[in-house]
Structure 1
Amino acid sequence: MKSINEASRQTKYRLLTAALACTVLLAGCSGNNGNNASTGEASPATASQSASVESPSAAASESTAPEDGPMTKYEQPIEVTIGQSNYEASSFIEGESVDSNIHHKFNEEYLNIKYKNKWVVDATKAGEKVNLVIASDDLPDVMKVGLNQLQMLIKNGQVEDLTEAWAKYPTEKVRSMAEYQDKIAFLPATKEGKIYGIPLARDFGESIGIMYVRQDWLDKLKLQAPTNLQELEAVAKAFVNDDPDGNGKKDTYGIGFDKEMGFVSGQPMLTSIAAGFKAYPKLWVKDDSGNFAYGSIQPQMKETLAFLQNMYKLGALDPEFAVKDFAKVTEMYTNGKIGILFGVFSAPIYPLMTNKEADPKAEWTVLPIPSGADGQVAPAAKSFVNEWIVVRKGFEHPEAAIKSMNLWAEMFVGPNEYNDRWAEANSGAYSGKNINLYALPYNFDSPYQNLKNGENLRAAKESGDESKLDVREQWILSEKNKGGSYGWAIEKTFYEAEKVLLEYKNIRYSDYQGAPTPSMISKSPTLDKLELETFIKIIMGASLDEFDRFVEKWRALGGDQITQEVNEAAK
């Protein structure tokens, strides 16, 4: 497990989460996409829902034992041990800690569940700790694990079958979050029809490409915003040659790329352009015979690199991009030197807000990524789940973790008693703190709540009726109305970027949803390095024949073995 991913994600979106009350005042919403998991494509459409939740106080007052349900309070306290990560001390108010805080109090009061930390480690070392407890078979009652660890636990028979518990105990809110997009996140956690892990969802749009273009540059040069790859090339060329910033110097570039082409920074740079060629680097796709094949070695990837090579020759890419990390590229955006960004839905908050702060006259338009020759495009996406909750084999109350998930969802999705108290706490003593990181048993988000918030805000703007906005949406609206660079960024994010996500008819996930294979684990570092170095070399002018040699090397150095293992694992 890479628990450091959660810490780095929180750092990356700190401005967003802090400004949105640490993501705790979330709107009630849901979604269910009729995607076909076997094709790897999914629609981002959403649908509304509601959940009926039994009041624990009412249940406790019954003279007879109540029927056990999604949030029925246990008659007697039960203890649940967990493994916990320590993120940052600033998350707590005086007198509280990772061992005892507001989440413990809510679980004890509403559910009679007493959580006890079996161990606490720094978030950056959590993966190592989990590996050790799996090896020693010294698991806590409930634990958060990554994909490799999940598969290992299932194979070893160390975790409880949660099929019956999942059928009975989740509220509709929690079910809709975990089962989002046709239950795709349950595929790695299911063996022979039985469920062994519950997905911990994140916003589904965190990896999906959106195109941001300097509108003021377009206006100055009397250009239309690009919609396809051909138009993208023309606009990028003009941004280089036609002095869009009006300083009389040839010192601007079309498109921002960093030395990892977005795969480390999380900004979908290469993938957003590749999708127009129906190329999907790093993803596993089905070939014509129905077998799994690695996306980075397909012929469409060669077309993508040829396009980028031409863009590099035109000067649309910074000639030094191969040695610059995303922080350096962000400086170029801040200083108004790049006119097009391929980023995620929160890119207006970072990095584009830095440009707005430096130049209040700068304007960015928000668009779908460019389509190919057929006018269609399906952006690549990573899974919105990379961690699962598991329960130790033999634990008496496997449903307890699900009940606590239900409580957490009620706390951050209102309106209800739980949300009212949680919102009050976060506008008071916990204001500005990331206490949501310590939700019990573990933190998760609604994968579609930002989409729904955006829909509701846009509808209120169109109708002029803001009375139906929930607490979080009203807060977002108030922040937008304050203006300034942050108000601008909020508006771009929720009124424009989220709208673009809804416009995509299909989204391309990896066709292979299983755990990394043994050769994938051992060979991928070498193959990934070869891939990155070759792609950069080609973009910067090497012969396109280098791609064919790369494919041969990739296959010989372990790629064929990985491909065989992937196809065997998927049977």
Structure 2
Amino acid sequence: MKKAGLTTVTLMSALSIAIAGCSGGKEQTPQPSAKPEASAKPQDSGTANGMKDGKYDPPITLTTVRAQAPTVKFAEGDSLENNAWTRAYKKEYGIKLKTLWAVDPTQLEQKMNLTIASGEIPDFFQVTPTQFKQLAEAGLIADLTDVYNKNASDSIKKLLTEDGDTALKSATINGKLMAIPYTAAAKERSQMVFVRTDWLKKLNLPEPKTFNDLLAISEAFVTKDPDGNGKNDTFGLAIDKEFGLLTGFFNSFHAYWGIYVKGADGSLAYSTTQPEMKKAFKQLQDMFKAGQIDPEFGAKNLSKVYESIASGKVGMFYNTPYAGLSPLQAAKDKDPTMEWKAFPILSVDDKPAKSQVGVGVSNYWVVKKGVQHPEAVFKLLEFWLKSFYENTSNDIYQQYNTSADGNQVWLLNAMAAYKSYKNIDESLRIIGALETKDLSKLTPEDKGVYDRILKFQAGDLSNWGWNLMFNKGGTMSVADHYRKNNLYLVNEFITSPLPSMLEKKPVLDKLEFEALTKIILGSSPVDEFDKYVEQWKKQGGDEVVKEVNEWYKTAK
């Protein structure tokens, strides 16, 4: 299925790169801050596992392969194998890294497939969920269960389980931990609804408190000329052709797009075929008939929709909290009079609306079977934690995170995992500092965002998006509301795509988008949803659901 399994987590990765600390270009979605001290000493010492005073003695060499981000600039004399990160690994832990090959991130998956097919794999490396499954089935990677239990620090265990045990479960096969999950901020990315509040003020409309309020606002944005140009040329709700901007809308109906949910009988069902989804599409059809949706949405991808938003043609859309930077900062730059505000998704009834989320894992770190020191990878991850999340020193920040000239040094790390609520927590610290003027709890990255907000408050509109995200009442405040009230529904399918999914996906995706797009357009009646469900089942959906439930029984 198009969004089933772990692949859902990667859908927002492009957006997350737009969010940065003081550099303005670094990924902040799963991202973090940096380290308390230059030396990141491991907890153990002595000579166990060939170590002395926390270092391998003599030093060990680990081979790896990786993506090489084209945006990273090397200091004079530095290279992929000789830079601040590799020197720190050797100095702090006695670990020398040897990179067998490095490619552009867009080529990593293909190159890794070739490496796996050759059977000549490095000591540790990053893989996709499908590659992870292939390696495990081929018996090429190490069982990390005992290694993790004995060698992962409390800080690492907290990082990997911050969002519960789902990430580790997804890396577990037949009761054995076969990989380290590359965790991501799935819940922090939950969609919310963005509304043009300058249009609300112009039309003398209150901020939305119910779903019916949103419907009334959408109607007003179409019928009452909110842009004041005397033309009927504005739309209430933005939709893209792949429905990526509709997830939050569906969730208001307790409907969920492209995931697996638990049914009344305890088995898993494909969410898009459930009755609640039919109600959501009925509402979309009504809105389309009323002119509240762009009639050309079926031909517009996200970038085209964002152009419409920036051009002042749309007054409402669903997106992640990072929309404060992209696309809304560009919209603000184009029209400084625009004002937007984010609101939680609103339920159609008296049951709270829950935001659908993925597993919170993008990829996996695996270790080759037979490696002499598999525990060494936890030293690399420990250094990432200390240098990226826990640092309060600006010098360390510039050395391992983002240099003074904005170079994204953090991309040179050999191993990473991301906190689940990094930006929410950062926002809370920044709000506290804005209120108290006490900056002592801020990391260097926090201070960068704090300074941006002060610049905005002084009249610099180029930092408007940072204020929209991180200040009180901003998008991260909405995300914190979800967290505090546990307003999430998590995809129950937490393993790599199954064979039937890979086989049936093209046919089922085509059927789904064609059938449901026609319902919105009104070229098919709403009752055609039932026919779509029947066809989906016959054309392979039943086979997929059966295989999913067979997996689910073993997973439980």
Normalised by the size of structure 1, how large is the TM-score? 0.87
Q: Is the 8 A contact 2:508 2:539 kept in 1?
A: yes
Moved >4 Å (runs of 4+): 5-8, 51-55, 57-60, 66-71, 424-429
Residue 47 of structure 1 is matched in structure 2 by: none
Q: Is the 8 A contact 1:54 1:72 kept in 2?
A: no
Alignment of 1:408-447 (within 5 A): 408-415=384-391, 420-424=395-399, 428=403, 431-440=405-414, 442-447=415-420
1:565 to 547, 550, 556: 547
Q: Which moved more, 1:209-218 or 1:224-233?
A: 224-233
Q: Is 1:456 matched with 2:408?
A: no
Code of the residue aligned with 2:87 in structure 1: it is: K
**Superposition RMSD on alpha carbons, in Å?**
2.9
Residue 478 of structure 1 is matched in structure 2 by: 451
Q: Is 1:82 matched with 2:64?
A: yes
Residue 539 of structure 1 is matched in structure 2 by: 520
Structure 2 distance, partners of 1:382, 1:59, is 35
Code of the residue aligned with 1:529 in structure 2: it is: K
The C-alpha deviation readout for 1:389-424, integer Å capped at 9, x for no partner, is 11001101111111101001111123367x743434
Classify the secondary structure of the residue corresponding to 1:91.
Answer: coil
The C-alpha deviation readout for 1:182-223, integer Å capped at 9, x for no partner, is 121111211233211111122334641011111111111111
User: How much has 1:466 moved relative to structure 2?
Assistant: 3.4
Q: Is 1:509 matched with 2:484?
A: no
Alignment of 1:10-409 (within 5 A): 13-14=17-18, 16=20, 19-20=23-24, 22=26, 26-27=32-33, 56=41, 65=47, 72-88=54-70, 90-205=72-187, 207-262=189-244, 269-409=245-385
The C-alpha deviation readout for 1:70-126, integer Å capped at 9, x for no partner, is 992212110101121233164323333333322211111111111111222332222
Return closer, same or farther for 1:527/1:403 CA change in 2, 3 Å cut-off: same
The C-alpha deviation readout for 1:120-152, integer Å capped at 9, x for no partner, is 233222212222333332111001111112222
Return closer, same or farther for 1:300/1:428 CA change in 2, 3 Å cut-off: closer
Structure 1 distance, partners of 2:170, 2:42, is 37
Q: Is the 8 A contact 2:10 2:362 kept in 1?
A: no
Structure 1 distance, partners of 2:549, 2:43, is 53
Code of the residue aligned with 1:539 in structure 2: it is: I
1:521 to 468, 489, 502: 502
Return closer, same or farther for 1:22/1:16 CA change in 2, 3 Å cut-off: closer
User: How much has 1:231 moved relative to structure 2?
Assistant: 1.6
Classify the secondary structure of the residue corresponding to 1:19.
Answer: coil
Classify the secondary structure of the residue corresponding to 1:380.
Answer: strand
Return closer, same or farther for 1:452/1:69 CA change in 2, 3 Å cut-off: farther
Structure 1 distance, partners of 2:37, 2:529, is 56
Q: Is the 8 A contact 2:50 2:58 kept in 1?
A: no
Structure 2 distance, partners of 1:54, 1:272, is 44
Residue 39 of structure 1 is matched in structure 2 by: none
Structure 2 distance, partners of 1:525, 1:93, is 46
Structure 2 distance, partners of 1:90, 1:409, is 20
Structure 2 distance, partners of 1:532, 1:159, is 38
User: How much has 1:53 moved relative to structure 2?
Assistant: 11
Q: Is the 8 A contact 2:402 2:410 kept in 1?
A: no
Q: Is 1:497 matched with 2:468?
A: no
Code of the residue aligned with 2:268 in structure 1: it is: F
Return closer, same or farther for 1:21/1:515 CA change in 2, 3 Å cut-off: closer
Residue 555 of structure 1 is matched in structure 2 by: 537
User: How much has 1:372 moved relative to structure 2?
Assistant: 2.0
Q: Is the 8 A contact 1:151 1:189 kept in 2?
A: no
Return closer, same or farther for 1:514/1:261 CA change in 2, 3 Å cut-off: same
Return closer, same or farther for 1:493/1:288 CA change in 2, 3 Å cut-off: same
Classify the secondary structure of the residue corresponding to 1:239.
Answer: helix
User: How much has 1:359 moved relative to structure 2?
Assistant: 1.6
Structure 1 distance, partners of 2:536, 2:387, is 49
Code of the residue aligned with 2:409 in structure 1: it is: I
The C-alpha deviation readout for 1:501-527, integer Å capped at 9, x for no partner, is 121222112112122111101111210
Percentage of pairs with the same residue:
32
Unaligned runs of 5+ in 2: none
Return closer, same or farther for 1:426/1:510 CA change in 2, 3 Å cut-off: closer
Unaligned runs of 5+ in 1: 30-50, 263-268
Q: Is the 8 A contact 1:70 1:170 kept in 2?
A: no
Return closer, same or farther for 1:181/1:71 CA change in 2, 3 Å cut-off: farther
User: How much has 1:376 moved relative to structure 2?
Assistant: 1.1
Structure 2 distance, partners of 1:366, 1:178, is 29
Structure 1 distance, partners of 2:513, 2:324, is 27
User: How much has 1:230 moved relative to structure 2?
Assistant: 1.7
Return closer, same or farther for 1:75/1:20 CA change in 2, 3 Å cut-off: farther
Number of equivalences: 537
Q: Is the 8 A contact 1:2 1:126 kept in 2?
A: no
User: How much has 1:446 moved relative to structure 2?
Assistant: 2.2
Code of the residue aligned with 2:60 in structure 1: it is: I
Code of the residue aligned with 2:115 in structure 1: it is: V
Q: Is the 8 A contact 1:28 1:449 kept in 2?
A: no
Structure 2 distance, partners of 1:157, 1:67, is 24
Return closer, same or farther for 1:428/1:435 CA change in 2, 3 Å cut-off: closer
Structure 2 distance, partners of 1:6, 1:69, is 37
Q: Is the 8 A contact 2:6 2:358 kept in 1?
A: no
Return closer, same or farther for 1:270/1:438 CA change in 2, 3 Å cut-off: same
User: How much has 1:454 moved relative to structure 2?
Assistant: 0.8
Classify the secondary structure of the residue corresponding to 2:538.
Answer: helix
Classify the secondary structure of the residue corresponding to 1:181.
Answer: coil
Return closer, same or farther for 1:70/1:249 CA change in 2, 3 Å cut-off: farther
Structure 2 distance, partners of 1:68, 1:53, is 23
Code of the residue aligned with 2:478 in structure 1: it is: V
Residue 265 of structure 1 is matched in structure 2 by: none
Q: Which moved more, 1:14-23 or 1:466-475?
A: 14-23
Return closer, same or farther for 1:178/1:91 CA change in 2, 3 Å cut-off: farther
Return closer, same or farther for 1:466/1:437 CA change in 2, 3 Å cut-off: closer
Code of the residue aligned with 2:363 in structure 1: it is: E
User: How much has 1:461 moved relative to structure 2?
Assistant: 2.9
Residue 32 of structure 1 is matched in structure 2 by: none
Q: Which moved more, 1:162-171 or 1:535-544?
A: 162-171
Structure 1 distance, partners of 2:53, 2:112, is 29
Return closer, same or farther for 1:113/1:387 CA change in 2, 3 Å cut-off: same
Q: Is the 8 A contact 1:103 1:438 kept in 2?
A: yes
